[in-house]
Structure 1
Amino acid sequence: MAKRDYYEILGVGRGASPDEVKKAYRQKAKEHHPDRNADNPNSEALFKEANEAYEVLKDADKKAAYDRFGHAAFEGGMGASARPGGGGAGQADFASAFSDVFDDLFGDFMGGQRGGGGGRQRAARGSDLRYNLRISLEDAYRGMQKTVKVPSAVSCTSCNGTGAEGGSEPVTCPTCSGMGKVRAQQGFFTVERTCPTCSGLGQIIKNPCEACRGAGRVEKERTLSVNIPAGVETGTRIRLAGEGEAGMRGGPTGDLYIFLEVTDHELFQREGTNLFCRVPVSMTTAALGGDIEVPTIDGGRSRVKVPAGSQSGRQMRLRNKGMPTLRGGNHGDMFIEMAVETPVNLTSKQKQLLRDFEAESEDNHPEGASFFTKVKGFWDGMKS
């Protein structure tokens, strides 16, 4: 069976530029890749055919020979090593051609990055850091400036972050030729791995800095001032750009994230911007009514009028006495929850007074009277 024309296989004209040839090959390789066409038994043959055509047309000398002699240019005395699709060096050519489209097909999954010149980043970005900071509810109400000490890796001053001693420059890694990754062929596929010599940086340092041992950074504790706005709550995250770990060999610095935890308060419970305060009230005050004094989160105090006949659990609202909204300027409310307190350690006289009151208070407990009326009806219903 006669072999198809290479230009026809890739769908380009004879005057196509190298970039047009490469673009056409990538499209065909994606279209006919066996992994994407499991239900098409011809996909592997079409894929190899496109690869064979690209091997010739991407090389200026082979292309010129093909334009002049056609397929006959690679038959006969030229040997298998020069023949597209042949054994020996031809298999290496296949891996080389396949690598051109490898990143397009699998780059996102392998994490590879290829620039226009085939290189990769020489410097790695520093890691982001997390610092857990505990503050009081009062600090969250007011806002504050907090000084924190953060252990971190900072740029080495001896080598200015390059990792090289005496102003020398890193050199291209001989193992990966600056790519930061190496390829190995396993059967039909070409697999990429991080270069073991340079750890993916693409460069090595022949004369490393004594202070940082070639890393370009050293461990050091830093003191930072953090602005905590009013209204923060547990889980609030504050980002300090560029205050994280220094990058490897002059790479960009990471960020520092402050995670806040607002501690529990002995008087107030918080729900969003609202505060709740449980205040004990004497039985007499709850029965007769009166005024009580309650604390507020700003350190002040407010007087609250207790209506006569108040029961435990009754709430009263103090508007705008709660927490401020974060960067909003408004305030929530404060709720006073009454807890009517039963007197203890009574004297004989107090006990007698309560007995006398009980004897005269048949109509003073409406809730109790209603409850026991329901209980009596329940029991009568069970008997019948």
Structure 2
Amino acid sequence: MSGKDFVEKDYYKVLGVPKDATATEIKKTYRKLAREFHPDANKGDSKAEERFKDISEAYDVLSDEKRRKEYDEARSLFANGGFRAGGGGAGGNGSYSFDFGDLFSGSQGGAGQAGGGLGDVFGGLFNRGGTRQAQPRRGADVETEVTLSFEEAVDGATVPLRMTSQAPCRGCNGTGAKSGTTPRVCPTCVGAGTVSRGQGAFALSEPCKDCRGRGMIVDDPCPDCHGSGRASSARTMQVRIPAGVQADQRIRLKGKGAQGERGGQPGDLYVTVHVDPHPVFGRKGDNLTVTVPVAFPEAALGATIEVPTLNGPTVKLKLPPGSANGLTMRARGKGATRKDGTRGDLLVTVEVVVPQHVTGDALNALEQYREATASDDPRAALFRAAKGA
């Protein structure tokens, strides 16, 4: 699309909508016309193809609120006699002859003398001329890892992290230009860092190849950063790892990554957390786990057993009579810290310990116990099930 087309074409007429049409009305009308004149539905019809291009061009402008406003203002400017095309020199029918190419390119002489022409006004739309400033650029995201103890993962911890990331070069203050010189705005993308490639009713944005997405071109590069404006920077920062973090969890810390360019926002820091195992405790989600050995009499007759906790006093749990090996009991509120500040539970699994060596009174007592329970075969139900009884 040329600057002349932008001023002379009536895109509202092309779509057949009034100038005060809403965005919804414009979109609805465009879809209807696009289906009617689409090349796939009119193969070999050059007029339909040309009509489809005009429809797509009109929709590109009127569907974008900013571009539509610029278009309306430009049309209003010319309609009110601010400039008039054609004529035969000054005074001929009150008109003034000029070249649209000079007008939009900002060449010197004639209408182009006024502030560099209308390239300054429409430069962002046509990627031509103008004095558009380079845009801020967001800093890169940074990845790092940290290893915590089991206790730190459960309760949270503030840890020092040493990171190496890109930051503005100190030799050129991030401009990329040698001291005493300044970079210039990229004429291809006009400082945006991206260029648009039209695809009918759509436009694809991609990094500008001439400036590599920076929006600026350096003619005399800084010797320290070779024109990139960035340099490696090592720093140590204190980072708070929240309580209850899981092993191998990836945490995002907003704004803690590399610094941005030209006032852009910093990137984010992503921390992958590794957790050392604990010799006693394990973990299942927000709950901690522990296996507690108990003597056979405690399991058979019942008892009150004392259980350790991770970071606090012991707790006492009542073991019911006849407790089987592998029974799990729950100590509420003694687990890992949750996001809302509450705590999970401590899951206590009972492990009945069989003595390895029995002598004296203990041996006699067990012999008497075996005789007293000789008629109670613990495997009887197993054999009945095996026979299908």
Q: Which amino acid aligns with 2:175?
A: T
Deviation at 1:151, TM superposition (A): 1.4
Residue 163 of structure 2 contacts residue 235 of structure 2 at CA under 8 Å; is this kept in 1?
A: yes
Query: Could you list the per-position Cα deviations for residues 192-249 of structure 1 after superposition, in whole angstroms to 9, with x for gaps in the alignment?
Result: 8754332133321122222222222211221010122333334655443332123356
**Distance in 2 separating the partners of 1:377 and 1:194:** 73
Pair 1:156-2:156 in alignment: no
Q: Which amino acid aligns with 1:337?
A: T
- 2:147 is aligned to 134
- 2:179 is aligned to 166
- 2:48 is aligned to 46
Residue 136 of structure 2 contacts residue 260 of structure 2 at CA under 8 Å; is this kept in 1?
A: yes
Q: Which amino acid aligns with 1:39?
A: A
**Distance in 2 separating the partners of 1:292 and 1:191:** 69
- 1:74 is aligned to none
Residue 134 of structure 2 contacts residue 190 of structure 2 at CA under 8 Å; is this kept in 1?
A: no
Between 1:230-239 and 1:275-284, the stretch displaced more is 230-239
- 1:358 is aligned to 370
- 1:82 is aligned to none
Helix, strand or coil for the counterpart of 2:300?
helix
Deviation at 1:147, TM superposition (A): 0.8
**Distance in 1 separating the partners of 2:143 and 2:188:** 36
Gaps of 5+ in 1: 1-5, 18-23, 67-113
**Distance in 2 separating the partners of 1:43 and 1:140:** 69
Q: Which amino acid aligns with 1:124?
A: R
**Distance in 1 separating the partners of 2:147 and 2:10:** 70
**Distance in 2 separating the partners of 1:291 and 1:305:** 4
- 2:300 is aligned to 287
Helix, strand or coil for the counterpart of 2:41?
coil
Residue 34 of structure 1 contacts residue 43 of structure 1 at CA under 8 Å; is this kept in 2?
A: no
Deviation at 1:145, TM superposition (A): 1.4
The alignment-based identity, stated in percent, is 33
Q: Which amino acid aligns with 2:343?
A: H
Alignment of 1:63-78 (within 5 A): 64=85
Helix, strand or coil for the counterpart of 2:387?
helix
Deviation at 1:47, TM superposition (A): 4.2
**Distance in 2 separating the partners of 1:227 and 1:260:** 12
Query: Could you list the per-position Cα deviations for residues 72-101 of structure 1 after superposition, in whole angstroms to 9, with x for gaps in the alignment?
Result: xxxxxxxxxxxxxxxxxxxxxxxxxxxxxx
- 1:267 is aligned to 280
2:258 corresponds, among 233, 240, 245, to 245
Q: Which amino acid aligns with 1:281?
A: V
**Structure 2 length-normalised TM:** 0.63
Q: Which amino acid aligns with 2:40?
A: A
Change (3 A) 1:351 1:180: same
Change (3 A) 1:294 1:46: same
**Distance in 1 separating the partners of 2:174 and 2:11:** 51
**Distance in 1 separating the partners of 2:374 and 2:308:** 37
**Distance in 1 separating the partners of 2:32 and 2:220:** 44
**Distance in 2 separating the partners of 1:258 and 1:192:** 31
Pair 1:303-2:316 in alignment: yes
Helix, strand or coil for the counterpart of 1:165?
coil
Deviation at 1:274, TM superposition (A): 1.9
Residue 328 of structure 2 contacts residue 348 of structure 2 at CA under 8 Å; is this kept in 1?
A: yes
Deviation at 1:264, TM superposition (A): 3.3
Query: Could you list the per-position Cα deviations for residues 109-158 of structure 1 after superposition, in whole angstroms to 9, with x for gaps in the alignment?
Result: xxxxx955746954532211122223223113332211111111122222
- 1:227 is aligned to 240
- 1:372 is aligned to 380
Residue 134 of structure 2 contacts residue 216 of structure 2 at CA under 8 Å; is this kept in 1?
A: no
Deviation at 1:40, TM superposition (A): 2.5
Gaps of 5+ in 2: 1-7, 20-25, 59-74, 79-83, 88-122
**Distance in 2 separating the partners of 1:330 and 1:192:** 47
Number of paired residues? Answer: 311
Change (3 A) 1:243 1:116: farther
**Distance in 2 separating the partners of 1:375 and 1:333:** 39
Q: Which amino acid aligns with 2:344?
A: G
**Distance in 1 separating the partners of 2:303 and 2:35:** 86
- 1:81 is aligned to none
Residue 38 of structure 2 contacts residue 48 of structure 2 at CA under 8 Å; is this kept in 1?
A: no
Query: Could you list the per-position Cα deviations for residues 247-273 of structure 1 after superposition, in whole angstroms to 9, with x for gaps in the alignment?
Result: 356644212122334443332222232
Residue 165 of structure 1 contacts residue 209 of structure 1 at CA under 8 Å; is this kept in 2?
A: yes
Change (3 A) 1:33 1:376: closer
**Structure 1 length-normalised TM:** 0.64
**Distance in 1 separating the partners of 2:133 and 2:34:** 29
What is the RMSD computed on CA atoms of the aligned residues?
A: 4.6
Alignment of 1:93-104 (within 5 A): none
**Distance in 2 separating the partners of 1:339 and 1:244:** 48
Query: Could you list the per-position Cα deviations for residues 331-352 of structure 1 after superposition, in whole angstroms to 9, with x for gaps in the alignment?
Result: 2221211111222244588656
1:329 corresponds, among 341, 348, 366, to 341
